[in-house]
């Protein structure tokens, strides 16, 4: 395990790190405050594709955290940027919610209802058979298959509900094509941040509670990682992994900036 070090670019996961569902993670606001006092504007990196940057900013504000909209990298934003960068001018058939809809508008990506170059899936609580059927048909007709994230389930007050990864699995199994996932543990969100701002990887760190998404994304991208024990993965379990994070802390209060 390395010793503590200073970074220029802090990438913070949201759920489990900054908040837990509708509750704040107590130590997060102070941590962000300390970063801002040092002149460091952090990035917020979330697999959430249903909320817009504004909605996420407002949610954090409710927990006393000041976030700049353009520093919020959701899997929806990253997907739209990915399409603009790698498939410029191509049309998209989208399944998703406000967050994905607005991200595509923001990047000027054209949406179509048929003959799409790309099928892009994000969570959609108003999903229908026809939407899923269209996705399958378009992919079978050769459309590129992208999905915001592979989360199979997410917690709610009722229990674990099916996530976008489960719906993506439906389309993938039926159309017999594997998707490209944008969200963590894939590196696309971190890569988008680095690409846009020209950061050095050695100056970047990914902080999160989930070993399988947050920490894996950081490790795959080749940057330092900090695991916080405030969410999904327990510290003991994380320490038993073959590839441990650069740092393991109880919560963000333990990190001196």
**Footprint of its own copies (CB under 8 A):** 124-129, 132-133, 136-137, 140-141, 152-153, 158-163, 165-167, 169-171, 173-176
Shorter beta-carbon distance to its own copies: residue 153 or 239: 153
In whole angstroms, the minimum distance from the beta carbon of 240 to its own copies comes to 21
Shorter beta-carbon distance to its own copies: residue 129 or 236: 129
Q: DSSP letters of 29-75?
A: HHHHHHHHHTT---EEEE---SS-HHHHHHHHHTTT----GGGEEEH
Q: Are 235 and 43 in contact (CB under 8 A)?
A: no
Shorter beta-carbon distance to its own copies: residue 39 or 159: 159
φ, ψ dihedrals at 19, nearest 5°: -145, 165
Shorter beta-carbon distance to its own copies: residue 61 or 153: 153
Q: Which residues of 104-113 are buried (b: 16+ CB within 10 A; e: fewer)?
A: beeeebeeee
In whole angstroms, the minimum distance from the beta carbon of 154 to its own copies comes to 9
Q: Are 51 and 92 in contact (CB under 8 A)?
A: no
In whole angstroms, the minimum distance from the beta carbon of 29 to its own copies comes to 32
- Token pair of 164 as six digits: 């976008």
Please state the separation of Cα 70 from the chain's center in Å: 14
- Token pair of 215 as six digits: 């920490």
Shorter beta-carbon distance to its own copies: residue 167 or 199: 167
In whole angstroms, the minimum distance from the beta carbon of 165 to its own copies comes to 7
Residues 6+ apart with CB under 8 A from 129: none
In whole angstroms, the minimum distance from the beta carbon of 186 to its own copies comes to 18
Shorter beta-carbon distance to its own copies: residue 185 or 218: 185
In whole angstroms, the minimum distance from the beta carbon of 148 to its own copies comes to 16
Compute the distance between CA of residue 249 and CA of residue 209 in angstroms, rounded to an integer.
10
- Token pair of 227 as six digits: 């695991």
In whole angstroms, the minimum distance from the beta carbon of 5 to its own copies comes to 38
Pairing mode of beta strands 159-162, 153-156: antiparallel
Shorter beta-carbon distance to its own copies: residue 8 or 237: 237
The tokens 């002149």 sit on which residue?
39
């Amino acid at each position: 395990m390395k010793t503590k070090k200073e970074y220029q670019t802090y990438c913070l996961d949201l759920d489990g790190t900054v908040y837990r569902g509708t509750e704040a993670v107590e130590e997060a606001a102070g941590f962000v405050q300390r970063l801002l006092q040092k002149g460091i504007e952090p990035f917020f990196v979330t697999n959430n594709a249903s909320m817009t940057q504004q909605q996420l900013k407002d949610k954090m504000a409710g927990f006393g955290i000041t976030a700049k909209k353009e520093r919020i990298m959701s899997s929806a934003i990253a997907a739209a940027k990915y399409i603009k960068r790698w498939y410029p001018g191509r049309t998209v058939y989208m399944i998703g919610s406000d967050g994905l809809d607005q991200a595509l508008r923001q990047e000027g990506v054209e949406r179509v209802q048929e003959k799409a170059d790309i099928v892009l899936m994000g969570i959609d609580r108003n999903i229908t058979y026809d939407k899923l059927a269209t996705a399958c048909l378009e992919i079978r007709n050769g459309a590129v298959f992208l999905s915001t994230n592979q989360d199979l389930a997410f917690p709610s007050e009722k229990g674990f509900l099916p996530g976008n990864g489960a719906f993506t699995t439906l389309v993938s199994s039926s159309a017999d094509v594997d998707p490209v996932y944008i969200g963590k543990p894939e590196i696309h969100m971190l890569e988008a941040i680095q690409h846009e701002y020209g950061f050095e990887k050695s100056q970047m760190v990914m902080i999160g509670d989930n070993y399988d998404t947050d920490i894996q994304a950081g490790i795959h991208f080749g940057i330092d990682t900090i695991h916080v024990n405030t969410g999904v993965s327990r510290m003991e379990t994380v320490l038993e992994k073959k590839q441990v994070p650069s740092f393991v802390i109880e919560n963000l209060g333990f990190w001196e900036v």
